[in-house]
Amino acid sequence: MVRREDTDELIADLIEPGDEVVLVKGGRGGIGNAKFATSVRQTPRFATAGKTGQELAIKLELKLVADVALIGFPNAGKSTLLSVISAAKPKIADFPFTTTEPVLGVVTKGDFSFVAADIPGLIEGAADGAGMGHDFLRHIERTRVLLHLVDVSGQEGRDPYSDFIIINRELREYRPELAKRPQWVLLNKIDLADPAKIRELRSKLEQEGYPVYEISAATKEGVDKLVNDLAATVAKLPPFFPDETKELRKVYRFEPEEKFTIVRQGGLLSVKGAWIRELIQSTNFSDYESRRHFQRKVDEAGLEDALRAAGMKYGDTVLLDGTEFEFTD
């Protein structure tokens, strides 16, 4: 995504391979003296300087484009599941925050494949910048399905349902529309959990309308059915792109700039801007024809009237792009 640095305005969203955007254009080259030759003026001794190129401060933001996002508290088993369903090799350990950056894996089922992303660092307060979650929440925005892993083993001393509520609250606070994205709840580590507590939690989540799967990423129990159902669902869902990206602008349109500005500098009126700089650079002040061309351009631009309006009088010294000139009748 390409945004203006000052206003955060979205300029372009490069989604498909080969997408391009023209942000700024270089200045047009100058015109040589031969172009000014006429039957009367056969050897002109002046030319025009090249035009100043456009400038724009931008920021580039990368968003991983995955079909499925694995979300949940640290150590819920996201990395283990990704390593089981794909060829990805994320770092796996039995302590929180093992994964410090999103990891992508390609999941293949028959002739169909989709991309799954392990999104690390989601904790309470992630939407406000706590932990690493704020850095990675943006990678969830374009996924078609959210797989919400909940650790039901109780080994961390946490309440699985509270964890589920906390993560969903963080999603809503970051982007309210994320709460409307298809979300499947994976009750993970069932091999270490109390079956009665699993049934109770499953019943509560299903009453709230969530598809629920009981799995053990470590033993692969329930994983095959999950992948089969997930592949069938993802194949039917269109890619998701936010409303702001629907009109992809290929060329950024600059607002027309004023030809010049007049300011006070050291007690003198000073004319600044690309136009006057290029005009000065294009003028051979030792050549009569070049000086006439300079004066004509000044008149056409209304510079003389603007200087008078700013308080200039005949005999005053003015600065044109830093060079001193005397204003005469």
Q: Percentage of the chain with pLDDT > 90?
A: 33
What is the tens place of the pLDDT at every residue in 184-209?
A: 999 999 999 999 999 999 999 999 99
Mean pLDDT of 103-110: 89
In terms of CATH architecture, what is 258-329? 2-Layer Sandwich (3.30)
Residues near 177 by beta carbon (within 8 Å), at least 6 away in sequence: 242
Is 142 a residue whose pLDDT tops 90? no
DSSP code string of 253-295: PPPPPPS-EEEEETTEEEEESHHHHHHHHH--TTSHHHHHHHH
3-state secondary structure of 270: strand
Mean pLDDT lowest among 98-107, 203-212, 250-259, 310-319: 250-259
- Say if CB 133 and CB 121 are below 8 A apart: yes
pLDDT of residue 123: 53
Q: Do domains 68-238 and 258-329 have the same CATH topology?
A: no
Mean pLDDT value of segment 254-280? 85
Q: Which of 12-16, 76-80, 106-110 has the lowest mean pLDDT?
A: 12-16
Share of the chain above pLDDT 70, in %: 84
Mean pLDDT, residues 84-107: 69
Q: What is the pLDDT of residue 95?
A: 45
- Listed by start position, the domains of the chain span 1-62+242-256, 68-238, 258-329
What was the pLDDT predicted at 47? Answer: 73
pTM over 0.75: no
292 vs 65, more confident = 292
CATH topology of domain 68-238: Rossmann fold (3.40.50)
The per-residue pLDDT for 126 is 44
- In this prediction, residue 250 carries a pLDDT of 55
